[in-house]
Amino acid sequence: MSDAETILAEQKEYYRARAPEYDDWWFRRGRYDGGAEHTKAWNAEIAIVEAALAELLPVTSALELAAGTGNWTKPLAAGAERVTAVDASAEVIARNRQRLAAANVAYIEADLFQWRPDETYDLVFFGFWLSHIPGAALDEFWDMTATCLKPGGVAFFIDNAPAPNKTNLGQPQWGGERRITEGEEIVMRTLADGQNFRIVKNYFEPVRLSAQMAKRGWRSQIQYSGEFFIYGALHRND
């Protein structure tokens, strides 16, 4: 197994192990609680992104990549006749399924670096997944995403906004993240139980990402929600 494959296997194990505490991060609980003002600002920015996603709904079919515990599957299920939710972790799929109990959501457990669609969709959504794709695999990912879309379809994403403290070498970050080597894409994440995992974590800026996507044949509307998130809609130049 190559070094890259080892990191991706470790990343998959990280999300399996993190399933019980993922929603603590999302809802700003426990060690992720930054106080009332922090939580208020966080929730306000989530609402901005939710409103942007809502503008793309309703649709007949939606695909969610790296579906996680269901925080975004829920609005997708409310706005699409059919949702296909793909994730590599059986643990988070189980939480997602139990949480939604939605008849219009079909779940697929699969490695997204290997999985390929057998149909096309009106909307492809991925939340906090783009940043976990190695830079060398981005072209392949966007090519795959294009094959998932119907003509005129749209891709939509949300991810962590870059921040200066996310690259401070050796310094523990919010939720236990530290960059292993300055300028590289691998970080060490520490779970609440003390387990350490190496994962890929890249941060994107709207202007630069939009320019990169234009070179790949996509037109996009990518922006910051404020302090916490980057998000946007992307269309193929068909």
Question: What is the per-residue pLDDT across 49-68, written as a single tens digit (0 to 9) for each?
Answer: 999 999 999 999 999 999 99
- For the segment 14-41, the average pLDDT, to the nearest whole number, is 93
* CA pair distance 173, 176, nearest whole angstrom: 5
Q: Which residues contact 86 (CB under 8 A, 6 or more apart)?
A: 63, 64, 65, 66, 67, 107, 108, 109, 110, 112, 115
pLDDT at 205 over 90: yes
pLDDT at 124 over 90: yes
Tokens describing residue 153:
């379809």
CATH number at residue 187: 3.40.50.150
Count CB-CB contacts under 10 A for residue 45: 19
Q: Average pLDDT, whole number, for the chain?
A: 92
pLDDT of residue 176: 63
pLDDT of residue 175: 53
pLDDT at 172 over 70: no
Q: What is the pLDDT of residues 127-170, one digit of tens each?
A: 999 999 999 999 999 999 999 999 999 999 999 998 753 443 33
* CA pair distance 153, 162, nearest whole angstrom: 28
Q: What is the pLDDT of residues 57-97, one digit of tens each?
A: 999 999 999 999 999 999 999 999 999 999 999 999 999 99
**Secondary structure string (H, E, C) spanning the chain:** CCHHHHHHHHHHHHHHHHHHHHHHHHCCCHHHCCCHHHHHHHHHHHHHHHHHHHCCCCEEEEEEECCCCCCCHHHHHHHEEEEEEEECCHHHHHHHHHHHCCCCEEEEECCCCCCCCCCCEEEEEEECCHHHCCHHHHHHHHHHHHHHEEEEEEEEEEEECCCHHHHCCCCCCCCCEEECCCCCCEEEEECCCCCEEEEECCCCCHHHHHHHHHHHCEEEEEEECCCCEEEEEEEECC
Number of domains making up the chain: 1
pLDDT of residue 2: 82
* CA pair distance 117, 5, nearest whole angstrom: 22
Global pTM? 0.93
Domain that holds residue 57: 3-236
